[in-house]
Amino acid sequence: MWEQFGNVMEMVKRVQQYVSQTEEQLKAERIEVSSGDIIKVVANGQQTILSIELNTNYLATENAALLQDLLVSTVNNALAKSRELHQDAMGKLAKDFNLPSIPGLF
């Protein structure tokens, strides 16, 4: 019985190491989403916005509403792509370790 417990603990350690490595890789990933040449948002695989670039040619009072809408849309698209990248990486981890599919596990 104790031997099986030791095997489980070893598996848990390996999964923890793999998750940690995967999280570091996701932190290094860069996702760029643009709204034409107006706005560019860069996020990483951990849903962190790293930068937002605005084309200064569009910085005028009459463009404020357009810029606000595009900024929200572009940031949301970047975060959605980041979440997808993260879910794919964690799904691969679960598959590699033959873990059951439990929603919200990772």
Its pTM stands at 0.76
**pLDDT tens per residue across span 47-92:** 999 999 999 999 999 999 999 999 999 999 999 999 999 999 988 8
Domain hosting residue 30, numbered range: 2-96
**What's the 3-state SS for the chain?**
CHHHHHHHHHHHHHHHHHHHHHHHHHHHCCEEEEECCCEEEEECCCCCEEEEEECHHHCCHHHHHHHHHHHHHHHHHHHHHHHHHHHHHHHHHHHHCCCCCCCCCC
User: Is 90 within a domain?
Assistant: yes
User: Is 79 within a domain?
Assistant: yes
Total number of domains constituting the chain: 1
User: Is 105 within a domain?
Assistant: no
User: Is 52 within a domain?
Assistant: yes
